[in-house]
Every structure is written in structure tokens, then in C-alpha cells.
Amino acid sequence: MVTGDASYIKRINRSLIISEIVKHRMISRADLSKAINLTRATISAQVADLLEEGLIIETQLEHNTVGRKPIMLSINGQAGYALGIDLDYGQISFTLSDLLGIPVTSAAIELNTTDYSEILALLIKQINQYKAEFSESRYGIIGVAVAIHGLVGKDETIHFVPRFKWKDIQLKNDLENKIDLNVFVENNANLSAYAERVFFHHDTENLLCATLYSGIGLGMMINNQPFKGHDGFAGEIGHMIVVPEGKQCSCGNKGCWELYSSESSLFSYLTEKKQVSHLTYKQIQQWLDDGDQEVAELMKQALYYLSIGLNNLINIYNPEVLVLDSELLRMNPASLEIVKNHLHSSVSHYRKLAISSIGKESSILGACALAIKHFLDVPILNLAHERE
């Protein structure tokens, strides 16, 4: 019989209990015992500790049946707060959520520099302001997670951010040395995939999320774990070649997928073709509504090339769920059927193709969820999105 250290077993049991409470939102001790097959004595001892720590709360459930009113356990959302940061070219976005992943406050700051030292100072200032503002809660800020639009290694080193021209940046260490909080640094597409799994697709172990904004990135959840590849660089799928000897890409290759299907490529083309500065989604929608044939044909072509890339992804990964994160697709939900109609290979298998309902908030909400996961020390989270 294999035995383990008592403290290790206690930690595992604690993780199981917290995970189940998060999953059910509210659950009784008796149902908790049945769900994870632990004795009531073990449940009672662990629950007592969690109550004392302020991580969970008790609620007496009101009902009309005869008998004792059940006492329900739930996570104390206000015990602490997670800070998610989306560090993008031209803007830094901040979202603070409670321990249930519910956003409490959000803000965005215009970024007029790419200088690392200036951006680091700005991040430190903003984080310390949040830290001071929420210091009266039991655990204050429980962690900070930063979404990076570039290559992030398994050790959380930022190896390359194309639009900032950053190489081998130690943002995690630099922040932790100044703010005295746990900091996590992750690629934005990985965090988008994590958010989709955590907030919506709870029954999915294998999920892909393709983000189509400034390029095309791919976040992958395989067996409920982020898939990052050997160095952590997996998911740079925008540089998959879909048109041999096609358009020249900044990566050095020709015919990369993101040159044909990303929103940035479409925006660049229309900005030049239509001679419009500060092009917006609303303007593109207006052109489509007005029956502009050139814009309609461009969208049709983008969906065609999108389908080519998706067909490759499906054949490689055989995902349960494939989520497309694109504002243009959300504006035109009929686009999803057009894409599906292009996926007619007899060997392509997936359970569900969906447009993200979270949108551009996905990476920052994924950042909040990542910080919560580490704080609660659980393998996976099942949180309810506020729009549900």
C-alpha cells in the first residue's frame, strides 16, 4: 500500500474540497463528502480550517420543506482580489476580480512608449495603487497575472514582444522585487483559452482558442492543462503558411495565415483602400450593411482562408471545442456557418466550433483566473461568468 506524508495528503484533500465548492457555488458538507469520497470527519476538519481562514462562508439555505435547514458552504469572494493585466501595444488594461472571478473594477491606460523601464514603472505604480485600495480585505491582492502579446517561456521569461521590440525581459522578477506580490506572466492567447475553459466550457478537457486580432494566436488546453511546447512557444499558429509564396510576412516567411485572416490584416487593407484613418468595427459593419461588394468579398476571402487554417488545426489536435475570438465574427454570427461549410473533410473531427462570447476581455479574465487558481492551489477552476 502506498502511503504519503500527512501534510501532503491534507493539502490534496484541501484542494479537492475547494475545487468542489467552487464548482457547485454552494454545497452542503454531506454532499461534499459524497462528491469527493472523503469521510465526514475529514470534511468537517478541513471546513473548520477554511472557515477560520476566511476562505469560505456558511449560509443557511431557506426552503419550505419540513426538517432542518441545510447549511451551505461557498467561497468567500471578498476575502481577496486578483489583478489581471493585459499589456498590449498602445494600451495597458487592468481588471480586478474577486475570488469568484467576478470583475470588481476595470481601467485602461493609454501607452505612448515601448521603453521597458517606463512601462515597468507605470505597472508598479498602478499595482501599488490597487494594493493600497484593497488592503482591508482578508488577503488583499492575492496575485497579479500579466497577459503578454508575444513569446513567453515556461520560466515566464518574456523572450520576444514584436511590437515592443522586447527580448529576454524578466518582468516577473522585476515586478515581484518591487511590489511584494506573486506575479504570473503568460501569453495572451493561452490566457484566452484558459478563460474559455474556466468560465464557459467546464465539461471540456481539450479546447483550442484562436485569437484573430493583431495577428493569429492559439491557446491550447489539453487534458485540462495548458499546452506550451518544449520552450513555451507553442501556439504561434499565425505563422503557419496557407499560401505558398504568398504575401511577405515580417517573420521572414511568405503566405502566413495571419496575413489573410487576422483582423489587423483586414483593417490595414481597408484603411489603405478606402483612405480612412482610425477605421472602426462600426464602419466595417456599416459597409457590410450597405452592401459594399468590395468589403463583402474581402470578408468572404478572409473566412475562406480562416477555414483552411482551422481545418489544419482540427486535423492536428482533434479538439472537443474550438473557440474563435474575433469581434468581426461576433458582429456577423452567420460567418460561423460559412466557416463550418468549408470544413467538409471526412477526417476532420471536432465536437463544437464557437465564437467567443467573452471577446477581448478573455485574456485579462484568464489572467485573473490564473492568479485565483494559484492562490486557491487547485488544479482547475469552474467559475461562472457574470453574463451567464
Domain ranges (residues) in the chain:
6-75, 79-193+362-376, 202-356
CATH of 202-356, one of 1.10.490.20, 3.30.420.40, 3.30.230.10, 3.50.50.60: 3.30.420.40
Q: What is the mean pLDDT of the chain?
A: 92
313-356 pLDDT, tens digit each: 999 999 999 999 999 999 988 999 999 998 877 776 888 999 99
**Which regions of the chain does DSSP assign to beta strands (E)?**
27-28, 56-60, 71-75, 81-88, 91-98, 103-110, 141-148, 151-152, 158-161, 166-169, 183-187, 207-211, 217-222, 225-226, 321-325, 352-355
How far apart CA 211 and CA 69 sit, in angstroms, is 47
Cβ-based burial of 284 (10 A; exposed 0-12, middle 13-18, buried ≥19): buried
Q: What is the mean pLDDT of residues 20-39?
A: 92
Please say if the pLDDT value at position 242 is more than 70: yes
Please say if the pLDDT value at position 2 is more than 50: no
The position carrying cell 477560520 is: 52
Tell me what pLDDT residue 5 has. Answer: 82
Q: How would you classify residue 331: left for phi > 0, otherwise alpha for psi between -120 and 50, otherwise beta?
A: alpha
Please say if the pLDDT value at position 61 is more than 80: no
Helices marked H in 25-65: 29-36, 40-53
Q: Hey, do 6-75 and 202-356 end up sharing a CATH topology, with the first three levels equal?
A: no
Q: What is the mean pLDDT of residues 90-118?
A: 96
164-204 pLDDT, tens digit each: 999 999 999 999 999 999 999 999 999 999 999 999 999 99
Please say if the pLDDT value at position 74 is more than 90: yes
Q: What is the mean pLDDT of residues 35-63?
A: 90
Q: What is the mean pLDDT of residues 281-298?
A: 94
Tell me what pLDDT residue 67 has. Answer: 61
Please say if the pLDDT value at position 64 is more than 60: no
Q: What is the architecture of the domain spanning 6-75?
A: Orthogonal Bundle (1.10)
CATH of 79-193+362-376, one of 3.30.70.100, 3.40.50.1370, 3.30.420.40, 3.40.50.970: 3.30.420.40
Tell me what pLDDT residue 1 has. Answer: 36
Three-class SS state of 186: strand
Tell me what pLDDT residue 22 has. Answer: 93
Three-class SS state of 346: coil
Tell me what pLDDT residue 385 has. Answer: 78
The most distant pair of C-alpha atoms in the chain lies apart, rounded to whole Å, by 75
- Kindly list the distances between the CA atom of residue 306 and the CA atoms of 185, 346, 350, 373, in Å, as whole numbers in the listed order: 29, 18, 16, 33
Three-class SS state of 242: coil
Please say if the pLDDT value at position 42 is more than 80: yes
User: Which pTM value belongs to this model?
Assistant: 0.90
Residues 6+ apart with CB under 8 A from 297: none
Q: What is the mean pLDDT of residues 83-93?
A: 95
Tell me what pLDDT residue 337 has. Answer: 93
Tell me what pLDDT residue 233 has. Answer: 84
Banded pLDDT at 77 (limits 50, 70, 90): very high
